[in-house]
Amino acid sequence: MKLQMLCLALVLLAVETNAIKQGKNVTIPALLVFGDSIMDTGNNNNLPTLLKCNFPPYGKDFPNGFASGRFSDGRVPSDLIAEKLGLAKTLPAYLNRNLKPDDLLKGVTFASGGTGYDPLTAKIMSVISVWDQLTYFKEYISKIKQHFGEERAQNILDHSFFLVVSSSNDLAHTYLAQSHRYDRKSYANFLADSAVKFVRELHKLGARKIGVFSAVPVGCVPLQRTVFGGMLTRGCNRPLNYMAKQFNARLSPALESLDKELDGLILYIDVYDTLFDMIQHPKKYGFEVADRGCCGSGALAVSYMCNILNPFTCSNSSAYVFWDSYHPTERAYQVIVDNLLDKYLSKVF
């Protein structure tokens, strides 16, 4: 008798847990992403910039080998996180001209490769600044209202996950153009303060669940090793990693206090440690190579330098942490995103 009741209780518990899980999944209507090439799924394709990659071998491991404009061999974190949230296998780029109103409902990415928190970064690269991405977001919301009504738009604002991923280009490139105005530490602090300002703006526009990526160990990308890491040693660019860490040290507590101040949820998402560990111990994660990219010679090639005319592209990108000399492979992104889901997303949803 007692055993039967226990069994019944367990069955009920199982049913309930399942319902909560499904409920959790159902309550996230959309994923909306702001940032740079880590998150761009094709917004740069139609911009007058040299920073694009809608040609092979980019997309080599994407369905049908399609070079969609993603800065990788396959999918990027916008896609992988949308999949984790149960939304879609790929997240559309907002500036894709073929998008229909229905395609907007599960979210889009406004991210633009080459951009940063510093407005100068987008200007130098002729791409969309994160601040202009907010303008596109306003347009997105008004399109949702126009086609699906106020209530639907409000639901998307209240319950969607908003993700902000930037800083690598500011730290790695724009700092060199700003070093007469800032030292390393004060520039990193300026960027972190800009990120906080961005989150405030996004919250003002109605976003309520906002995650912000930390800076990555951008001093360890193959390009930085080649240029700054010493001819033979090709070590990481340490001063650059120091800046990334300073950015994180400033950003993390600032977001924590913003989370207390504002309604909703503001989340600092650390990706530095996971990527750094993957680069230092690639074998631990099933990778063979972490100091060169798969594409071309792997030491310098990005965008147009990594093209079909370059005969050295590796055959198995899954063995590489980096796809080109700046961007991780889909498989490396998958390891990071799986790690994030365990650590953060499962707490939120």
Ligand X SMILES: *[C@@H]1O[C@H](CO)[C@@H](O)[C@H](O)[C@H]1NC(C)=O
Six token digits for residue 213: 């990526």
In whole angstroms, the minimum distance from the beta carbon of 86 to ligand X comes to 3
Catalytic residue among 40, 79, 170, 324: 324
Our CB check for ligand X shows the closer of 25 and 186 to be 25
Going by the DSSP 8-state scheme, the letter that residue 281 receives in this structure is -
In whole angstroms, the minimum distance from the beta carbon of 297 to ligand X comes to 19
DSSP string of 137-184? HHHHHHHHHHHH-HHHHHHHHHH-EEEEE--HHIIIIIHHHHTTT--H
d(CA 43, CA 168): 18
What is the binding site for ligand X (CB under 6 A)? 21, 24-25, 84-86, 286, 288, 316, 318-319, 345, 349
Our CB check for ligand X shows the closer of 214 and 317 to be 317
Q: In which element (H, E) is residue 290 found? A: strand 289-293
Six token digits for residue 11: 């069955």
Q: Is 327 a catalytic residue?
A: yes
In whole angstroms, the minimum distance from the beta carbon of 319 to ligand X comes to 4
Q: Is 324 a catalytic residue?
A: yes
In whole angstroms, the minimum distance from the beta carbon of 277 to ligand X comes to 17
Beta bridge partners of 210: 162, 266
Catalytic residue among 36, 37, 68, 118: 37
In whole angstroms, the minimum distance from the beta carbon of 65 to ligand X comes to 16
Our CB check for ligand X shows the closer of 37 and 329 to be 329
Cβ atoms of 63 and 330 closer than 8 Å: no
In whole angstroms, the minimum distance from the beta carbon of 161 to ligand X comes to 10
Buried b / exposed e along 240-265 (16+ C-beta atoms within 10 A)? bbebbbbbbebbeebbeebbeebeee
Which residue is at the shortest CB distance from ligand X?
Answer: 86
Listed residue (37, 53, 57) closest to 45, CA to CA: 53
Our CB check for ligand X shows the closer of 21 and 138 to be 21
Q: Provide the residue count of the chain.
A: 349
CB burial class (10 A; 0-12, 13-18, 19+) of residue 156?
buried
CB burial class (10 A; 0-12, 13-18, 19+) of residue 14?
exposed
Our CB check for ligand X shows the closer of 307 and 318 to be 318
Coil, helix or strand at residue 322: strand
Our CB check for ligand X shows the closer of 21 and 204 to be 21
Q: Is 37 a catalytic residue?
A: yes
Would you please indicate which residues are annotated as catalytic (active-site) residues? 37, 324, 327
